[in-house]
Structure 1
């Protein structure tokens, strides 16, 4: 495949996403290649660690190939839509539970499926220019790839502010959210890659990799987004998504600039997506198991990808780029939250 490179260097398996013009967006074939490599290396005694990286200056990975998924949904190919998400989430689960250390180099853009393929790794190394986001609410979808299995470990306000707003955050906030472990200097990344490969040959790769990361880490700075979310904790503790948005608006109208900025970002998201994001995240805080959370994600993905909002959101953001989606329904008050709860309830019984 031209879009991905699978190789072994020394004792380290290398997964290199090689689709830089699309910021390494994950296709079905790329996901299948990652899964096959991880399955093979699990049994290969020569491979003692795995490195995940992305080609090109723009970033590790901008997400899944939602354009292709949209086309499948539009022609009613539900089997391939379901298969894409099932395979992607299986890959996420493999990475999260892999018995050998996986190191992800999170340079540049790390969004959506990029978080899925990297933030579940045992070691996540970003740089000062790294930017993280879960922007699925803007395309009529929801925050999937098992990200809630990471974010349930942080404060609810931080998690919901990040997920609902779709805001892009820098490395300090990514570390505070649990999406990355450390930041290293931009010009140190190439040398660090070589040293990770060397560390894979150590008697104890985990100890060697940990020491390597500690020796290269720099102060990431202030986690300003998480600080804002912490100050708004009572807002995000509200029982319903509607009340969260209402409380943010009240503070915005009282002159709170942080609340105003968050409200403005959230107000641009698909209403049904916002409900799905809050419901799925709060369920994850109860489930607290990556595989169970990914099962929830699969049930919701099958539902959300076939709704008209997904096709419309991808059109507005990625195809026509008019940024003017016509959501159905257009108001949060008209969202059928019970239908979303039912989807997840049926998943739990399956």
Structure 2
């Protein structure tokens, strides 16, 4: 147990609780390393049969990675520190995705970026019905990373790209439709569901116990509004600036496209299409790391984090400021696009 991460054993259950509520449990390197150590130790521990991820505090499960610290390292001339952070985070994502024991995520509130990178790769994913999911990286000059393209590749491409490129927060209905979670629960039932997860750790058939819990606890979620908007524009060319801007003017859910980093939009589109051709999570995460190393050294990353998270003026000056000015060849080279 550390000040920012609670690692707890309860009989056959291992619990990893993100405990940095003042930052909505934003992941730093210490937390990432702690998660990795716990998972590696429990993988060979016969007493631990199931592992639960949860987040402390009322605001949410996890707001993503601590990109302000990453930005500062780049500005200080220590981009290698950024490389170390991303390599550690993506290694953790891979361990979660390929874990030999059942992993359960119980999320609430804000579930963004690196939070989806943890919860989305778990085998059993519960979320409260008021949760908000997002991959907001296009707003900070970065890309949809942490292996999320591997998850989104199972959704229709137009829905996946709408979610990843707009970066807008979506509710549980969209998260279910996109394959980011499995079961939306009534927030008032969160403690009861947690107790059910703990009980499943001692069940003869853990998978069956968790499946039954999901079936019993699924709550109404309403319309998947972002997916519905995406369906109305399924044929949109996501690399055509005029088409994007024109569509953004017609759909409130797509309006954020016109405000995003052009470099990010191209990076997200290219990396997503490349991920659909890859057969395993390891290859997707390797491409994510190559792309992260490129993008964190480009001007839009430092500028985007400044505008959104540091100065918070929400007025980034993107360079280049149009899709036509983006060097697509360098992005395609690192993601392995044909």
Q: Are 2:245 and 1:249 aligned?
A: yes
Counterpart residue number, 2:46: 45
Give how far 1:304 is off. 0.6
**2: distance between equivalents of 1:128 and 1:286?**
32
Within the candidate set 256, 259, 272, 1:268 is matched to 259
Give how far 1:345 is off. 3.6
Residues 152 and 288, structure 1, Cα contact 8 Å, conserved in 2: no
Counterpart residue number, 2:293: 302
**2: distance between equivalents of 1:39 and 1:84?**
18
Residues 171 and 183, structure 1, Cα contact 8 Å, conserved in 2: yes
Q: How does 1:284-299 map to 2 (within 5 A)?
A: 284-299=275-290
Question: Secondary structure at 2:276's aligned position in 1?
Answer: helix
Shift in alpha-carbon separation, 1:65–1:250, aligned structure 2, 3 A: closer
Q: Are 2:315 and 1:320 aligned?
A: no
Report the count of equivalent residues: 337
Give how far 1:247 is off. 2.1
**1: distance between equivalents of 2:316 and 2:333?**
26
Q: TM-score, normalised by structure 1?
A: 0.93
Which structure's residues are more often helix, by fraction?
1
Give how far 1:308 is off. 1.5
Give how far 1:252 is off. 5.8
Residue deviations 1:157-211 (CA, integer Å, cap 9, x gap): 0000001101110000000000010111111101111221111011111111111
Within the candidate set 314, 334, 349, 2:325 is matched to 334
Residues 10 and 198, structure 1, Cα contact 8 Å, conserved in 2: no
Q: How does 1:177-196 map to 2 (within 5 A)?
A: 177-196=178-197
Q: How does 1:95-110 map to 2 (within 5 A)?
A: 95-110=96-111
Q: Are 2:77 and 1:76 aligned?
A: yes
Residue deviations 1:51-107 (CA, integer Å, cap 9, x gap): 000000000000000011111111121322111101100111111111111110110
Q: Please, what is the CA RMSD of the aligned residues? A: 1.4
Counterpart residue number, 1:31: 32
Counterpart residue number, 2:16: 15
Q: TM-score, normalised by structure 2?
A: 0.97
Residues 271 and 335, structure 1, Cα contact 8 Å, conserved in 2: yes
Which consecutive residues of structure 1, in runs of 5 or more, have no partner in the other structure?
A: none
Counterpart residue number, 1:60: 61
Residues 248 and 257, structure 2, Cα contact 8 Å, conserved in 1: no
Deviation larger for 10-19 or 210-219: 210-219
Deviation larger for 206-215 or 55-64: 206-215
**2: distance between equivalents of 1:333 and 1:153?**
29
Question: Secondary structure at 1:64's aligned position in 2?
Answer: coil
Question: Secondary structure at 1:145's aligned position in 2?
Answer: coil
Counterpart residue number, 1:216: 217
